[in-house]
Amino acid sequence: MVFSYSLPFQSVPENLTSSPSGRDRPVPSPPSQIPGQAVVLGASIAGLLTARELADRFSQVVVIERDHLYPDAPRPGVPQTDHVHVLLAKGLEVLEGLFPGLTEELAAAGSPEVDWTADCQMMGFGGWNPRFESGLTTRTCSRSLLENLIRKRLRTWNNIEFVTGVSVSGLLLKRDSRNRDQVTGVTVKRDTHPYSISGELVVDATGRRSLLPQWLEEWGYKAPQETTIDARLGYASQWFEIPSEYHHHQSSDGDRWNWKSLLIWAKPPYQSRAGVLYPVEGNRWVVTLSGTGGDYPNAQNQDFLKFARSLRNRAIYQAIRHAVPVSPVKVYRGTANRWRHYEKMDRFPSGLVALGDGVCAFNPLYGQGMTVAALSAQRLGQWLDKTCQGDRPNLTRAGDRFRKTLGSVLQLPWLMATGEDLRWPKTQGEQPHWWMRALQRYLKEVLTLTDQFPNIHKRVWHVQHMANHPVSLFHPAVLGPVVGNFLAGSQNSAQTLPYRGSGR
């Protein structure tokens, strides 16, 4: 079986069709130098949002994508299209600023609205968390819907062009008499025909498979240092038609169906399995089940149900056991946290920027990737504006400062993701310092108390959605109960509660 949005054979690539603005956009011939042109490598979420930021600052922006892009269909090169994607509240805020009205477009496309403390039935480190309205609300949707809506918006911009079906093979550099290098574009191939595309600024947003370290080495640069933290997490996902009884009982049955989403966390270091059920457009649920430390779910339908049944609570299993699947089970394994430290490189060519997963990739379990990409693109635009000389940015200064300060965007989500992954004894990578272990112990107590204290639950999820700084978890309203737990000698004694539907 396939998804209802799967690509029909007669689809035509977007770059051979008319754009929403009505202008034909055929694949361009190899372009000559255009003053003020920026080049973005990759039509990922990071690449699309970067193109939007650059379109305000350059006379022309060219987005180069290896895949052909088809209207209303997933981009073939996204390795996680079939899995749960979460746009955190902060990410939605940034996207709404870049594309006013995007939230309404998501709603019109059938994307459900979810209040994450009222509509999501969540089992944390202890039992079921309390349910209440908090205003921490987003629209839940498939990755392909979000990408397609953003790409459709960008195609209405006269100075943004998509070049698809080509692969980037390297960088073009110009070296001056002082041995300083400036990137002037990229070399690309369509089939076996190479040509170049020029740009005053080149942004690499090609994701985890980025070849930028190799391209830099070809020009005599050292590859960046890398830090990798791998909890050996793998997951499997399947899509289901939402059963009619869910809609029938949602308003009349306050016990079993009084939720929009289900989330059952693992409980380190003892229970490695977790699961999420997530509503998306098209009257569908997408369910992702995960296991840490090599405890991977596989791609067999009957094993998928068995894995769901083995979670700390059977709520997800009970929801899907009679639901009709509309996709096969898809698996994914490449979940390691990896930071390529471009900010530590002594030599780096000007006119070149890297962001997105190609710089810092997070364990997808925590749903931070798209939001961090949005914040990174926003930060790039801010640094270009700060370095303007007259009406043009100083690309050398902006690129260097952005590269060195991108860490301020990445550091907090990195600590959040790796701090959780390092709770597992089989996690591979640098082990935490004493202060990280102390912080882990504190946060474990905080997370354990979320089922008893609604205010703590609310604060945790505002931090999780990057709407609040983590320092808010040290507020006296949180610190007091945690200290009380320590003084009482609590060792995470909260027991898993039986499933009671709403969790209230």
pLDDT 10s digits, 113-129: 999 999 999 998 888 99
* Span of 5-9, 47-51, 100-104, 467-471 with lowest mean pLDDT: 5-9
Categorize the per-residue pLDDT at 499 as very low, low, confident or very high, splitting at 50, 70 and 90: very low
Q: What's the gap between Cα 130 and its chain centre? A: 27
Q: Could you tell me the maximum CA-CA distance found in the chain, to the nearest angstrom? A: 77
pLDDT value at residue 15: 45
b/e per residue 182-210 (b: at least 16 CB within 10 A): bbbbbebeeeeeeebbbbbbbbbbbbeeb
pLDDT beyond 90 at 111: yes
Instruction: Write the pLDDT tens digit of every residue in 291-321.
Output: 999 999 999 989 999 999 999 999 999 999 9
Exposed/middle/buried for 415, CB within 10 Å: 0-12, 13-18, 19+?
middle
Contact 289, 307 (CB under 8 A): yes
| Mean pLDDT over each residue of the chain, to the nearest integer | 86
Per-residue pLDDT, averaged over 461-475, amounts to: 93
**Beta-sheet pairing, 352-354 with 388-389:** unpaired
Per-residue pLDDT, averaged over 174-200, amounts to: 88
Q: What's the gap between Cα 430 and its chain centre? A: 24
pLDDT value at residue 80: 76
pLDDT beyond 50 at 182: yes
Among 387, 394, 381, 393, residue whose Cα is nearest residue 355: 381
pLDDT value at residue 256: 66
pLDDT value at residue 19: 35
pLDDT beyond 70 at 479: yes
pLDDT value at residue 359: 98
- The number of beta carbons lying within 10 Å of the beta carbon of residue 82 is 24
pLDDT value at residue 381: 92
The letter for the amino acid at 74 is P
The letter for the amino acid at 283 is N
pLDDT beyond 70 at 26: no
Categorize the per-residue pLDDT at 401 as very low, low, confident or very high, splitting at 50, 70 and 90: confident
pLDDT value at residue 51: 98
pLDDT value at residue 12: 39
Instruction: Write the pLDDT tens digit of every residue in 230-280.
Output: 999 999 999 999 998 887 655 444 456 789 999 999 999 889 999 999 999
Q: Measure the CA–CA gap between 373 and 150, rounded to whole angstroms.
A: 14
Q: Which residues contact 451 (CB under 8 A, 6 or more apart)?
A: 124, 126, 127, 128, 129, 130, 457, 494, 497
HEC per residue, 232-277: CCEEEEEEEECCHHHHHHCCCCCCCCCCCEEEECCECCCECEEEEE
> What Å distances lie between residue 458 and 90, 168, 296, CA to CA?
15, 45, 31
Categorize the per-residue pLDDT at 428 as very low, low, confident or very high, splitting at 50, 70 and 90: very high
The letter for the amino acid at 24 is D
Q: Measure the CA–CA gap between 320 and 306, rounded to whole angstroms.
A: 11
Alpha helices (H) along 273-394: 301-309, 315-320, 369-386
pLDDT value at residue 500: 38
pLDDT value at residue 432: 78
Tokens representing 405 are 């300060």
Per-residue pLDDT, averaged over 479-484, amounts to: 92
pLDDT beyond 60 at 60: yes
Q: Measure the CA–CA gap between 3 and 237, rounded to whole angstroms.
A: 12
For the chain, percent of residues with pLDDT exceeding 90: 69
Q: What's the gap between Cα 321 and its chain centre? A: 29
> What Å distances lie between residue 173 and 51, 187, 199, 220, 490, CA to CA?
22, 11, 11, 12, 60
